[in-house]
Amino acid sequence: MRPRVCCRRSSSFAFASLRLGANLFLLLATAIVIADEAAKTEPELNDSDREHWAYQTPKRAALPEVRDAAWCRTPVDRFILAALEGAKLQPAESAAPAVLLRRVTFDLTGLPPTPEEIAAFERSGDYEAVVDRLLASRAYAERWAQHWLDVARYADSDGYEHDIARPEAWRYRDWVIDALDRDLSIDDFLRLQLAGDELRPDEPQAAVATGFLLCGPDMPDLNRQDERRSMVLNEMTGTVGSALLGLQVGCAQCHDHKFEPISQADFYRLRACFETADFLSQARKEDDSEKDVTSEKWRVFRASKKVGEPSRLWVRGDFTRPGPTLDAGYPRVANLMNVSSTSSSSAAAANGDSTRRTRLAEWLTTPEHPLTPRVFVNRVWQEHFGFGLVRTSNDFGYLGDAPTHPELFDWLAREFVDTGWSLKKLHRLIVTSAVYRQSSTVAADSKADPENRLLAHYPRRRLDGEAIRDAMLAASDGLSDRRGGPGVMPPLPKELLGTIRKDHWKTSKDEEDHRRRSIYLFVRRNLRLPLLEAFDRPDTMASCTRRNRSTIAPQALVLLNSEFAQECAAALAKFVGSQTSQPEQQIKLAYVRTLGRAPTDRELVEANALVDADPAGLEDLCLALFNLNEFVYVD
């Protein structure tokens, strides 16, 4: 028997469902209209928005008066000492020569001083000559290139699921090293990375420099290439904001920034500076690494006079929901010069819309720019002292920290620009200062400044993973001097190799390549060498302006038990054994090569006991030296 159906009830239910559906559709349509209308409005800036210190052009302050002027070696010291005296603190005594030599050598080159360099400094005592020698070395460029590659989120692969290799990426890495080696002015350094193809169309290396913009992760196999393009452009824009401006503009992809005076339109005006170029259609093949860099097969920007996709705001950051059109431009709150990238007053306006990146580069490197010089000065200070004058090195906005020494900060920013944006001159100014030469001994009155923000003593710092690895190779006389070229792949532990695709890590056949400086290792986004991962190497999926400094158990395990550590210890023992047959001299040489000093009397007695007790005692000693805090920390 078929059940009876009440026609009245069923029709009422259907009508109610229809009405509900219609209402939901109306609500959704209304929400879309409201969102679209909201996209067309932009909050106006007022004077209070621009009162924040970071949006004011740096001004060179007069050097402050101090009571102990004899302590000061450079103008930097006057500002530091004035703050210390104001807090009734005294600077620490000068560091011992051996400590200072090890500190500045690691800071500038990422390598330990050699026994010969230690002996020469003990004889001459000429510290400034040491600084000049280090700055002139290729090792300096390799070390400081790594800091910039962190910021540039450099890698040799795309990331994500397939992590496709980028066999040409090393060209950008080598360009950075070469630029720092010849002390290319930082304004040119930035301009070429943003618009090298436009500025110098006849120079292949200028196009390579634009690899900075495309260093980020990518998904070339994405079904919708318009979605892929939007993702790359958004990531690129956010990176330029944090890396060059010290502002989190990426937070405004979907809506006006919640805390900073940065609108969604600000974000998309900045993004529009990059939209005219076709940079994703270029083919990339695994076997192209030796082809001419001028081919269109390289994943770099190429100058184009074609005007795209008009630039527009995308509602809620959705690449399928076009909002109003926008001219290319710059974040208004940082644009005190009120320059528009489409303004007829722009230097490259005559070439039309194809020079947006050139005008962005010129705006960013204007000497009066409130952010760019400060951002670079802060990062250099950070790498020498562990923390920047602004501790939030990627956020100079309202949520970031205020400068600990605002007048010094502005003085350094003006000095940096006025001396030609020279990174080497800035290094020299800082590392020859009295504040840099202090001992790391904490004074009894340190409670007045428990975080050492005023720098009453030098802050003890742990080396990063690359410096630890390179120092182990250098100490054991195994560090290769080969430079440049495609990234190399040293052996990986078998248990790690078993977790990845076989074609993702092909151990380099030449064993000398296994001992190259860490900057020349292949950087795969989905895989990090155990030693580097243990010591906080960034994952390269985003710009890293300051590395973590963690203390975790795997650090001790990798230094004590890894095959790499064992091999370095054996190589060091073999090397010192080849230099002298006297156990006591072998011990002294091992100490100098690892710690930069001779052993104390007590250490010598204990080390002799270890070496005499076992045929493998010298290797055990070398391994123990690699595991000392004194080896992985700089005083």
pLDDT in tens, 464-510: 999 999 999 999 999 999 999 999 999 999 889 888 888 899 999 99
Asked if 436 and 461 count as a contact pair (C-beta separation under 8 A), the reply is no
User: In the listed set 317, 347, 364, which residue is the last one of a domain according to the structure?
Assistant: 364
Angle, alpha carbons 31-36-41 (nearest 5°): 125
What is the model's pLDDT at position 304?
55
Residue 129 in domain: no
Q: Between the CA of residue 301 and those of 155, 168, 556, what are the distances in Å?
A: 17, 14, 44
Q: How many residues are given for the chain?
A: 635
Is it the case that residue 370 has pLDDT exceeding 50?
A: yes
Is it the case that residue 7 has pLDDT exceeding 90?
A: no
Name the most confidently modeled range: 28-37, 311-320, 511-520.
511-520
Question: Which residue from 617, 627, 630 is spatially nearest to 576, judged by alpha carbons?
Answer: 617
Q: Which residue do the tokens 């710059």 mark?
A: 330
What is the model's pLDDT at position 563?
96
Is it the case that residue 343 has pLDDT exceeding 50?
A: no
Question: Which residue from 229, 248, 238 is spatially nearest to 268, judged by alpha carbons?
Answer: 238
The dihedrals phi and psi of 524, each to the nearest 5 degrees, come to -100, 130
CATH number at residue 596: 1.10.3130
Longest CA–CA separation in the chain, Å: 112
Residue 2 in domain: no
What is the model's pLDDT at position 450?
92
Do 481 and 601 belong to one domain? Answer: yes
Is it the case that residue 35 has pLDDT exceeding 50?
A: no
Residue 3 in domain: no
> Average pLDDT over the chain, rounded to whole?
89
User: In the listed set 316, 341, 364, which residue is the last one of a domain according to the structure?
Assistant: 364
Residue 171 in domain: yes
Q: What is the pTM of this model?
A: 0.90
How do 461-462 and 633-634 pair as beta strands?
antiparallel
Do 340 and 471 belong to one domain? Answer: no
**Mean pLDDT over residues 98-102, rounded?**
97
C-alpha–C-alpha distance, residues 518 and 520, integer Å? 5
Name the residue type at position 596. G
Is it the case that residue 195 has pLDDT exceeding 50?
A: yes
Structure tokens at 500: 């990845």
pLDDT in tens, 179-192: 999 999 999 999 99
Do 216 and 360 belong to one domain? Answer: yes
Do 341 and 474 belong to one domain? Answer: no
What is the model's pLDDT at position 447?
83
In 10 A of CB 27, how many CB atoms? 10
C-alpha–C-alpha distance, residues 579 and 592, integer Å? 13
Instruction: Name the pLDDT band for 523 (thresholds 50, 70, 90).
Output: very high
Instruction: Name the pLDDT band for 412 (thresholds 50, 70, 90).
Output: very high
Is it the case that residue 577 has pLDDT exceeding 60?
A: yes
Asked if 297 and 288 count as a contact pair (C-beta separation under 8 A), the reply is yes
Do 614 and 477 belong to one domain? Answer: yes
Cα torsion through 262, 266, 267, 270, rounded to 10 = -130
Specify the number of domains making up the chain.
2
Structure tokens at 610: 């270890």
Do 228 and 358 belong to one domain? Answer: yes
What is the model's pLDDT at position 444?
78
What is the model's pLDDT at position 49?
87
Is it the case that residue 6 has pLDDT exceeding 60?
A: no
Share of the chain above pLDDT 70, in %: 87
| DSSP-assigned letter for residue 96 | P
Do 477 and 354 belong to one domain? Answer: no
C-alpha–C-alpha distance, residues 475 and 166, integer Å? 33
pLDDT in tens, 261-301: 999 999 999 999 998 877 765 444 444 444 444 448 455 66
Q: Which residue do the tokens 């069923």 mark?
A: 10
Residue 206 in domain: yes
What is the model's pLDDT at position 286?
40
Residue 505 in domain: yes
User: In the listed set 364, 398, 421, which residue is the last one of a domain according to the structure?
Assistant: 364
Asked if 584 and 608 count as a contact pair (C-beta separation under 8 A), the reply is yes
Name the residue type at position 626. F
Which region among 46-55, 137-146, 206-215, 626-635 has the lowest average model confidence (pLDDT)?
46-55
What is the model's pLDDT at position 617?
95
**Mean pLDDT over residues 418-424, rounded?**
98
Instruction: Locate the DSSP E strands across 454-525.
Output: 461-462
Residue 302 in domain: yes
Domain that holds residue 604: 465-534+551-634
What is the model's pLDDT at position 5?
40
Asked if 141 and 173 count as a contact pair (C-beta separation under 8 A), the reply is no
Structure tokens at 232: 């790359």
Asked if 429 and 76 count as a contact pair (C-beta separation under 8 A), the reply is yes
Query: Which comes out higher in pLDDT, residue 429 or 43?
Result: 429
| DSSP-assigned letter for residue 318 | -
- Give me Rg for the CA atoms of the chain: 28
Residue 279 in domain: yes
Q: Which residue do the tokens 């690494």 mark?
A: 289
Do 344 and 485 belong to one domain? Answer: no
Do 335 and 479 belong to one domain? Answer: no
What is the model's pLDDT at position 321?
96
The dihedrals phi and psi of 602, each to the nearest 5 degrees, come to -65, -45
